[in-house]
């Protein structure tokens, strides 16, 4: 019995169930679970990450923030290490959006290795989605501001995985050089 594989499959199943009624903000309103699955794929394929705890945490990274799930529930089901990473990448929704964004920048350098990997994959996936299927109501200026903010967060994550950092840099460059958003980077 492969416990790593079981952990990852349990996390994927749990996340799919928790996010089952959620949709992405893209024009197609694609199923939300596509996002956590993209993170797991980026980590494993592009980053060479083989730590099942990190992959499981990536699959679960938005469950506490975006569903009726507690860190305690994650810990009971998936263990302390997975719960710890999920807790590190979960924003405090009681804070205003701008403060949550500021804290992501300020705290990124002090995160654990596992949390840095998940956060880096998250930002990469988000930039790719903004290029491929941006939300219909996001202006070019708003997309450009997101790209710049994501870059600021990732600056604190550097040094954790060169391959993932290269994937982020590629997604960032592609987004900043496509469409009207590259004319005004600071918006």
The catalytic residues are 65-66
SS (H, E, C) 101-145: HHHHHHHHHHCCHHHHHHHHHHHHHHHHHHHHCCECCCCHHHHHH
- 39 token code pair: 């993170």
Instruction: Count Cβ neighbours within 10 Å for each residue of 51-69 and write b for 16 or more, e otherwise.
Output: bbbbbbbbbbbbbbebbeb
What's the chain's Rg over C-alpha atoms?
A: 16
Closest by Cα among 58, 133, 127, 47 to 89: 58
- 169 token code pair: 């840099």
């Amino acid at each position: 019995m492969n416990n790593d594989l079981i952990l990852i499959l349990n996390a994927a199943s749990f996340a799919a169930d928790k996010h089952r009624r959620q949709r992405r903000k893209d024009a197609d309103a694609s199923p939300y679970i596509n996002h956590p699955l993209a993170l797991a794929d980026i980590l494993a394929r592009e980053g060479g990450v083989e730590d099942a705890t990190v992959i499981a945490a990536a699959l679960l990274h938005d469950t506490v923030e975006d569903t009726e799930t507690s860190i305690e529930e994650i810990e009971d089901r998936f263990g302390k290490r997975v719960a710890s990473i999920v807790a590190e990448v979960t924003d405090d929704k009681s804070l205003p959006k701008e403060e949550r964004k500021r804290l992501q920048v300020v705290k990124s350098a002090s995160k654990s290795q596992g949390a840095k990997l998940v956060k880096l994959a998250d930002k990469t996936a988000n930039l790719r989605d903004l290029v491929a299927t941006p939300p219909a109501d996001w202006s070019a200026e708003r997309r450009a501001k997101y790209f710049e903010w994501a870059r600021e967060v990732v600056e604190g994550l550097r040094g954790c995985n060169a391959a993932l950092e290269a994937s982020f840099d590629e997604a960032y460059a592609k987004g900043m050089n496509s469409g009207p958003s590259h004319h005004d980077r600071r918006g």
